Amino acid sequence: MAALSGKLTKKLVENLGPGRYGDGAGLYLVVDPSGARRWVVRVTVKGQKNQKGAPLRTDFGLGGADVVTLNAARERALEYRRMAKAGLNPRFNAKREIPTFEELAQQVHIDRMPTRKNAKHGAQWINTLRDYAFPKIGRMPVDAIGQPEVLMCLSPIWTEKHETARRLAQRIKTVLDVGRSRGFREGENPVTAVKEAGVLPKVKAKVEHHDAMPWRDVPAFYAQLEARTATAAKALQFAILTACRTSEVLGATWVEVDLVERIWTIPAARMKGGVTHRVPLTDEMLRILEPMRAMASEYVFEGQKRHRPLSNMSMPMLMRRMESGQYTVHGFRSSFRDWAGESAGVAREVAEASLAHQVGSDVERAYARSDLLERRRELMLDWSRYLF
C-alpha cells in the first residue's frame, strides 16, 4: 500500500489514491480501491494483553471521510487514545454519537459500493434517498426515526410513483437495519411495521397503461421521431428535450424565443404555477426550431389553420400511430425527472427547477430567488446528448 509521511490535509484526504495513510498518533486514512475513504485509529490498551501475551493493540473504525471531517477524526482518535491509556477498551467504553439518517445512509452507500453491479447502480441507490428521504428525515438522528417519519417519506409518492416508493422503503429499511446492527437504534424496523400495519393503500399494478415511458427507452423513441417530418413530430421532440408541458410547447411563440441568448421565456400567464419560466436552449433544441421559422407564423409549431398552433391531440395521436399510445406526452416530464435523479445524479433543486416545480416552504422560496439557469443549462445539455 502507498505510504505518506507527515500530517494529512483536507486536500490530501480528498485526492489520495488507494492506500493507508498515517496522520500521526495512531490515526489513519484508508482509501479502498473503489475510492471509498474511511478513518481508522490504532490504540494500545494499557494493562490488557492479546492471546499471545503481547500488549492489546486494536484498530477502530471512525467512519467515512465524506461524513467525518479530518478534525473530527482527530478528536475521536484522541478520545480513544485517552481511554486506552487509562486501561479502558474503547470498544466497550467509547461514547457513541448517534449519526443522522443522511450520515448513516452515505456511509452505507460507501461501504456497499464495491458490491454494486456498477457505479450507475450505486448512484441510483443513494439518489432515491437523496430525493425523497433526506429532505424530510435526513437531519434526524437515526434512533429517532419511527413509523410516522417513514410514512412522511412514503405517503406522498406511494400511489403516484409506487415503484419508486417501494424501492425507497427498501432502502430506508436497509439504512435503519444497519443502524440497529451498529448499536445506534433498538426495536423493530419501522418500515416493516408500516407494511404489516397496512396503513398505506393497496396499489393495483398497472398493466395496460403507463403514463411515463421508462427513461432508458426514450432515446430509441426519439430516434423514431427524428425520421418523421411532420410538425407534430418536431413539437414532440421539442417537448421531450425541454421537459415542458404540452400547453407550454404548443403555445410557444417566436416572441418568447431569444435565439441570441439561447433562452425560451414562457410568461407567467401560460405557466401552471403562474411564475415565468426560462428554458435554456441547447443546440439540439435550436436544430428543431430552425425549420419552423420558415412557416413565418406567430406560433413556433403552427397547425393546419394559419397562425394557429397545433391541436392538443396532435402529439398523442402521433404516439398512437407509433404504437406508443400506452404512454402520455406529459409522462416524458417524469421520464426526464427519473433520468435526472437516477442517471445524471443532479441536485434535486436543479431537476425540480427544470420542471418549473417549486421546492421548499414559502420562506425557503423567498430567499431562493435564483432560477438556477446556468446549472439547468448544463443539465439540459446532458439530456440532449443522452437523447440524440
Share of the chain above pLDDT 90, in %: 47
Q: Report pTM.
A: 0.48
Judgement on whether residues 140 and 27 belong to the same structural domain of the protein? no
Element (H, E) at 57: strand 55-64
* pLDDT score recorded for residue 318: 95
Mean pLDDT in the chain?
86
Range of the domain at 129: 101-197
Indicate which CATH number applies to the domain containing 277: 1.10.443.10
Among 96-100, 115-119, 204-208, where is mean pLDDT lowest?
204-208
Judgement on whether residues 66 and 172 belong to the same structural domain of the protein? no
Among 48-52, 134-138, 289-293, 359-363, where is mean pLDDT lowest?
359-363
Q: Each residue of 25-69: pLDDT tens digit?
A: 889 998 888 777 888 888 887 877 666 767 767 787 777 787 778
Judgement on whether residues 225 and 261 belong to the same structural domain of the protein? yes
Judgement on whether residues 221 and 318 belong to the same structural domain of the protein? yes
Let me know: does 383 contact 357? Beta carbons within 8 Å: no
**Domain final position from 197, 227, 250:** 197
Indicate which CATH number applies to the domain containing 45: 3.30.160.390
Q: How far apart are CA 45 and CA 261, in angstroms?
A: 67
Residues 6 or more apart whose CB falls under 8 angstroms from that of 182 comprise none
Judgement on whether residues 52 and 108 belong to the same structural domain of the protein? no
User: Domain total for the chain?
Assistant: 3
Residues 6 or more apart whose CB falls under 8 angstroms from that of 352 comprise 358, 359
* 79 part of a folded domain: yes
What are the Cα distances from residue 81, in Å, to 5, 51, 85? 21, 21, 6
Judgement on whether residues 88 and 115 belong to the same structural domain of the protein? no
* pLDDT score recorded for residue 123: 80
Judgement on whether residues 89 and 116 belong to the same structural domain of the protein? no
Judgement on whether residues 26 and 69 belong to the same structural domain of the protein? yes
Assign 359 a pLDDT band (cuts: 50, 70, 90): low
Give the angle 316-317-320 at the CA atoms, nearest 5°: 90
* pLDDT score recorded for residue 345: 85
Let me know: does 279 contact 333? Beta carbons within 8 Å: no
* pLDDT score recorded for residue 121: 67
* 312 part of a folded domain: yes
* 155 part of a folded domain: yes
Judgement on whether residues 182 and 74 belong to the same structural domain of the protein? no
Judgement on whether residues 239 and 262 belong to the same structural domain of the protein? yes
Assign 305 a pLDDT band (cuts: 50, 70, 90): confident
Question: Among positive and negative, which fits the CA dihedral 84, 87, 89, 93?
Answer: negative
Lay out the sheet containing 37-49: strands in order across.
Answer: 19-24, 27-31, 37-49, 55-64
**Domain final position from 197, 223, 253:** 197
* pLDDT score recorded for residue 199: 85
* 282 part of a folded domain: yes
DSSP calls for 136-190: HHTTSBGGG--HHHHHHHHGGGTTTTHHHHHHHHHHHHHHHHHHHHTTS--SS-H
Helix (H, G, I), strand (E, B) or coil at 281: coil
Indicate which CATH number applies to the domain containing 139: 1.10.150.130
Long-range contacts formed by 365-371: CB under 8 A, 24+ apart: 371/277, 371/278
Judgement on whether residues 107 and 72 belong to the same structural domain of the protein? no
* 210's grid cell: 403507463
Judgement on whether residues 60 and 109 belong to the same structural domain of the protein? no
